[in-house]
Amino acid sequence: MDAAADGPRRYLVRTFGCQMNENDSERISGLLEADGLTPATSEDDADVIVLNTCCIRENADNRLYGTLGHLKSRKDARPDLQIVVGGCLAQKDRDQVRARAPYVDVVLGTHNVHRAAELVAQARAGGPITEILDAAVADDATMFPSALATRSGPGHTAWVTIQIGCDNSCAFCIVPAVRGPEISRPFDALVAEVEALAADGVTEVTLLGQNVNSYGRDLTLAARRAGDDVRVRPLFADLLRATGAVDGIRRVRYTSPHPKDLRPETIAAMAEVPEVCSHLHLPLQSGSDRVLAAMHRGYTAERYLERLAAARAEIDDLAVTTDIIVGFPGETEEDFARTLEVAAEAAYDSAYTFVYSPRPGTEAAEMADQEVPAEVVAERFDRLKVVVERTAVAAHRARVGRVEEVAVEGPSRKDPSVLTGRTAQNKLVHFPSPTPLRAGTYAQVRVTDAAAHHLRGELVDVVAPARHRTRIPVAAV
């Protein structure tokens, strides 16, 4: 018997992975709601459980199969419970997912998210379904459906997918295999979507892509091939300016750029458009030129630091974050020492540091004979953490005494009497408030204390109240 036999069927979406996966999860949630389902509060009252997967790092695989093992007992007790596996891992390993968890009702990939509700309905009527599409068979209407048509409910923030896929060939990355080549969404459609989001109460948008810097290069190339007199170039800087100019949009963020494609016009747009946040996430991955070449990153450490310096010279109060991989195959102590040097010179506000894990299907996975011993990787990881946290604390302490504008995100998970907000530089700020403030409220907060990963402050003033309806969250794991 269904958990919701006395009312609408209920769904729960759990997300494994990056912002792109979270964006897809919102689309899936919106489609299921449009088909009559309502959000569940937990697995106990869900009739449909969707696991939207990642395959970038090994831990995501382990968590997926661990979760599927846990759900098997629920499926045995309730045969009408539907389990759906989607996302990058499903796109890459459809047969393995089906073999390891034959009780899964639907397996779908990254290119048929638009079919999620239909496949759930078909599987309920006719049994398990596996449907994986190639990017070549999908068009803009299916790859990039309207955010408003598929969002799980409006909030003050929204993701806007501007492109899918990637044309780079980083040796450690499986994204091109599971997301396909770069396909940019039409410029006017994106601006129209941001306008619609703003009209619905959204004040902050994040532009999403695997390599946002190259957004629109394929569009201009196609126009040139069609005979139009246009210059083949990226359109990302133009898109930043256009979205920043949308009435009602207070903040524009983006992720993720590639250092080799960070162009002067993008830096200029960030410097000149007040709505574009002063935060640059610029993945380094390694400070060693030898390792960067083996990774096929397309830049040297010197070139990376030059572009970072150019951005800091033009953009006021710029915060910089990064990604760094420790233990890439063949990484020597000398290579790692150079990474420490570059990380110290870059003086990051924070860094996402990762232990390298091989992904089947990537070039680096074939370098098993160059594997760095686990104990060496662990020791290097700890040393890198010290360097990164040293510069992060210094950057945060420099903000003590300043008044920052924060967008309220809600009560702190550790202390509900304290609110949490985020600055334009993506700094997390905890502060008490004498009265409750809704998520999406913009407030002035004076910074009083600093730690490596957050700031503390005191409320000075409320500058803009929230103007959106309450948003239904999608669980992330």
Binding residue ranges for [4Fe-4S] cluster: 18, 54, 88, 166, 170, 173
The strand pair at 163-164 and 157-161 is best described as unpaired
Q: Is 274 helix (H, G, I), strand (E, B) or coil?
A: coil
Q: Are the C-beta atoms of 46 and 81 separated by less than 8 Å?
A: yes
Q: Which of 17, 19, 39 is nearest to 29 (CA)?
A: 39
For 316, other C-beta atoms within 10 Å of its C-beta total 8
| Torsion sign, CA atoms 385, 387, 391, 396 | positive
Q: What are the distances in angstroms from CA 353 to CA 372, 382, 439?
A: 16, 10, 29
Q: Which of 15, 4, 68 is nearest to 40 (CA)?
A: 4
For 132, other C-beta atoms within 10 Å of its C-beta total 16
For 31, other C-beta atoms within 10 Å of its C-beta total 22
Q: Which of 139, 159, 137, 162 is nearest to 150 (CA)?
A: 159
Q: Are the C-beta atoms of 67 and 39 separated by less than 8 Å?
A: no
Any idea how long the chain is? 477
As a whole number of Å, the end-to-end CA separation of the chain is: 28
What is the separation of C-alpha 123 from the centre of its chain, rounded to a whole number of angstroms?
Answer: 30
Q: Are the C-beta atoms of 35 and 121 separated by less than 8 Å?
A: yes
Q: Kindly give the residue spans of alpha helices, DSSP state H, lying in 398-438.
A: none
Q: Are the C-beta atoms of 381 and 331 separated by less than 8 Å?
A: no
